[in-house]
Amino acid sequence: MNFFDIIPPDLNVLLPILGTIGLILIVLEGALEVELNKSKISVIKKSSLMAVLTLVVLALMLGFIIHNREEVPFRIALLNAIPFCVISSSIAIPSVRNLPQKDKEFVIYESSLSDIFGVLLFNFVAVNQFIHAKNIGLFFIQLILMLSISFVSVAGLSLLLSRNKHHITYSPIILMVILIYALSKILHLPGLLFILIFGLFLGNLDELKRFQWISYFKPDRLETEVAKFKDITAEATFLIRALFFMLFGFLLQTQEIINMETLPWATGIAFGIIVTRWVALWLLKLPVLPLLFVAPRGLITILLFLAIIPIESIPLVNSSLVIQTIIISVLFMMIGLVIFKPEHPEREPGLMN
């Protein structure tokens, strides 16, 4: 049994739609908070490597195990494995407010990039029936095309945001962002790349002021609008996320949570997450504590799992396994962060709203 078996027909479309909108807003919110400047180069490099390394290694390992256990094509196994390999930024970022500033920054970058890289990898595997050099080359061509579309779209939306004098400003911008994302999906382009570029552009206006061309966007006015836009985006993200989890929780059945057949698998996946993370932290010479604890799975895992079409779903990878893995990973993070006590706790406000 998978998610589509427990969702009533009238809600079968609503949950994925809510999930897609939630994914867009989560990535946009994370991108708006990512600071790009020389002082952040080191942490961005390490967090990017950490996000990619743990994602790819864990996905290949879990995909190989599913491939041999279920005797399905490796592509199908990998597709079902990827949702378990992505850190949930919607859970990780709010959970580290009491950690030292450098650890908070690392978690913000790593979890946001993990969401983005995870969705890009998932879409690549889902769209391509065969993974070979030609498809990889086509994927990079699509990335370049999407980059071009993104820069044009970002320029247009930024001009609209800075020059719009109507009392309703932010909802049309968000709706247009969703529309551009939907159109990119129809064209089989990585739409999240546009969301990332749009968020990074608006979130780093201070760094762009030294360029002459930025004056066309009226940066002073745009900064004021962006501050309000961040608040609206945070509110909308929280609302969609809350609605999604309320609906998802309503549809869950008790036997799905306490399913003893999938519990060993969920425990094994959680253990694999921790081991992979520990090795990656050691290789990158990063502090193991408290970063080892911050690897929760959550909304992004559910969204990617919902995106798997029924014909490519695997009986082993079902709703019980997903929800149990999420619960175990979140409990591990909660216990670890409660036990870990920083020697010099910092009182600065967090980087996220």
The CA distances from residue 135 to 43, 201, 231, in Å, are: 32, 30, 40
Structure tokens at 118: 């995870």
**208 φ, ψ to 5°?**
-95, -10
pTM for the whole structure = 0.78
Residue 274 has pLDDT above 80, yes or no: yes
Minimal CA–CA distance to 262: which of 55, 72, 2?
2
Indicate the fold that domain 3-339 takes in CATH.
Answer: Na+/H+ antiporter like fold (1.20.1530)
What is the average pLDDT score of the chain? 79
For 82-106, b/e burial (b = at least 16 CB within 10 A) is: bbbbbbbbbbbbebbebbbeebbbb
Report the distance separating Cα 221 and Cα 200, nearest Å.
Answer: 17
Minimal CA–CA distance to 296: which of 266, 257, 270?
270
| pLDDT value of residue 10 | 54
Residue 57 has pLDDT above 70, yes or no: yes
Query: Which range, 166-170, 213-217, 251-255, 301-305, is most confident?
Result: 301-305
Summarised one tens digit per residue, pLDDT across range 127-174 is 777 767 777 777 778 778 878 888 888 777 777 777 666 666 677 777
